[in-house]
Chains A and B, each alone.
Chain A
Amino acid sequence: MKRIKTLTNNTLKNTVVKGGCGECQTSCQSACKTSCTVGNQSCENK
């Protein structure tokens, strides 16, 4: 595709099956404490 560069084709749909183990860090335990950010956290179940 000469006009489209796909940075990620990772589909979140796939995580429905394997996700939800809950071992990941709680969002407020990282650095914020005043907002909520989850998109930058990592999965512990790769």
Chain B
Amino acid sequence: MVHQYKNNGYNIVLDVCSGSVHVVDDLVYDMVEMYESKTKDEIAVEIKNKYKDLYSNEDILDAYSDIEELKAAGQLFTEDVYKDVVIDFKKRKTVVKALCLHIAHDCNLACQYCFADEGSYNGHPRELMSYEVGKKALDFLIENSGNRVNLEVDFFGGEPLMNFDVVKKLVEYGRSREKEAGKNFRFTLTTNGVLLNDEIIDFCNKEISNVVLSLDGRKEIHDLMRPTRNGKGSYDVIIDKFKNFVEKRGDKSYYVRGTFTRNNLDFTEDFKHMVDLGFKEISIEPVVSPDDCPYAIREEDVEAICKEYDKLALDIIERHKAGKPITFFHYMLDLNGGPCVYKRLSGCGSGTEYLAVTPQGELYPCHQFVGIDGFKLGDVYNGIEKTELVEEFKLCNVYAKDKCKDCFARFYCSGGCAANAYQFHGSILDAYDIGCKLQQKRVECAIMIKAALADLEEGE
């Protein structure tokens, strides 16, 4: 399967199933497009008709033989040969390798788009996780992680810093068990910043391998969707704290992460604002909300968002040229390394290797399923009880989803978010269509950026 497109003056040919990427001229681009449906002679006639005398017969023959050479080398028109191995892989006994610890089902902000209902998660009482429940969760993770060495624990909420003492104690407990259990904990934390202070920042910079700092961008955009509980904007409360945090963080990983809505389809301006504030690791994601929300992304917004992604891509290239590169989460792409096909095709791991834990110790397939009827899997005391649901999640991979079959982006999104699919279609084996279109566009932009940076390296 080949996906080809033009962007920013580049003709890009992606051989989907091998992952090979070629930048080609107009002649090859057109010939690749016709290669599977026309004979060599028919292609030559079409090219002559379209380009008149621009290309000689020799040019056309040379281009054709180059295409055949790439095909023979397994870099063009390769077939998807992974279905059986991925399905077998998914049948293997899974281990739990990551937990999303809902350390606080409460929040000191009242963000309008919050999928967690400001911490209450579909009607759960506002509460904090006790140390005992957290400890039991870490024990559960160690016991169910098999031979997996790296274990991930995300402190999530609500706002996890509302329960910072428990965060601190759980990190200490996790560290105390690493050696005897032969495990390595990677703690991460997502915060709105309101409660940050130097003590917390220093702790996080020592112990937390990645922090996610929620900032939507420009003050008016941020304040519109992220008010405090008394209705005031939170930008002024958090911005200096985030700057201080990142300044002190050194080389450790972080993301300043925003959500864009239909209120700011010009989110490149928010990206620029974040860069101007000194942030270098940035993620800005589309809001996922029901169509009837006034700020929800609608089908009719997709075209404008795609144009905005192009604009953002150009901005990122310019910053590279200026020697001041910025990382944008969704444009990161490692063309020569990156994940194996199993990772790429076997789904996000929700409900199997990744679970969410509520303050009461209940287990859910992921943070987005918390509180939804029928999705409780068990608890940290008794383990997984609803094994039939785990089996359903186990089968969740790109080959189980009709919408993924002909999609070039399936090697980059692993079939998309199960929770989004459920929210929009009532099935984890479906896909959230707007999310798919935006993901496809982001992959195209990310590859185009690689083409531009390759030119830059060559000094063109």
* Interface residues of A, Cβ cutoff 8 Å to B: 1-13, 15-16, 18-20, 22-46
Check B342–A43 contact: CB distance below 8 A.
no
Contact assessment for A5 and B454 in the assembled complex, using a CB-CB cutoff below 8 Å: yes
Q: Mark B92-109, 1 if CB is under 8 A from A, else 0.
A: 000101101000000000
Least CB separation from B148: chain A residue: A22
Number of A-B contacts (CB under 8 A): 214
- Which one of A1, A18, A31 has the greatest number of beta carbons of chain B within 10 Å? A31
User: With A24-B339, A40-B330, A40-B332 in contact, is A35–B28 under 8 Å at CB?
Assistant: no
Enumerate B138-156 residues with CB–CB distance to A below 8 Å. Answer: 148-150, 152, 154, 156
**Residues on the A chain within 8 Å of B62, using CB:** 2-3
Which of these, A29, A33, A43, contacts B337 with CB under 8 Å? A43
Q: Which of B50-75 contact A (CB under 8 A)?
A: 62-63, 66, 69-70, 73-75
Residues of B within 8 A of A (CB): 17-25, 27-28, 62-63, 66, 69-70, 73-75, 78, 81-82, 85, 89, 95, 97-98, 100, 115, 148-150, 152, 154, 156, 186, 188, 190, 210, 212, 255, 257, 259, 283, 285-288, 329-344, 347-350, 353-354, 366-368, 411-418, 420, 435, 439, 443, 446-447, 450-451, 454
Please indicate the chain B residues that have their CB under 8 angstroms from the CB of A40 in the complex.
Answer: 329-334, 338, 412, 446
Kindly list chain B residues whose C-beta atoms are within 8 Å of the C-beta of A41.
338-339, 343
B22 adjacent to A10 (CB under 8 Å): no
**What are 13 A-B contacts defined by CB distance under 8 Å?**
A5-B22, A6-B70, A8-B21, A12-B18, A19-B342, A19-B343, A27-B349, A28-B98, A30-B329, A34-B115, A34-B288, A38-B412, A40-B334
The answer to whether B19 touches A3 (Cβ under 8 A) is: no
Known: A26-B353, A32-B329, A43-B338. A3 touches B28 (CB 8 A): yes
The answer to whether B343 and A38 touch across the interface, beta carbons within 8 angstroms, is yes
- Name B340's closest neighbour in chain A (CB-CB): A19
Interface residues of A: mostly helix, strand, loop or mixed?
loop
Across the interface, name the chain A residue whose C-beta is closest to B82.
Answer: A16
B421 → chain A, closest Cβ, in Å? Answer: 10
Q: Which residues of B contact A2 (CB under 8 A)?
A: 62
C-alpha gap A1/B287 in the complex (Å):
44
| B interface: dominant SS | mixed
**Distance between A14 CB and nearest chain B CB, rounded to angstroms:** 9
Q: How far is the CA of A5 from the CA of B447 in the complex (A)?
A: 13
A18 touches B340 (CB 8 A): yes
Selected contact of A3 from candidates B66, B81, B454, CB within 8 Å? B66
Contacts of A15 in B (CB 8 A): 339-342
Across-interface contacts of A16 in B (CB, < 8 A): 82, 85, 340-341
Chain A residue nearest to B447 (CB atoms) is A7
Contact in complex: B343, A10 (CB < 8 Å): no
Known contacts A9-B73, A26-B152, A34-B417; is-contact A43 B19 (Cβ 8 Å): no
- Asked if A6 and B417 make an inter-chain contact with CB atoms under 8 angstroms apart, the answer reads no
Complex contact B353–A7 (CB within 8 A): no
Closest 6 CB pairs of A and B: A19-B340, A39-B412, A15-B340, A40-B332, A26-B98, A8-B335
Q: Are A22 and B28 also in contact (CB < 8 A) when A7-B22, A36-B348, A38-B414 are?
A: no
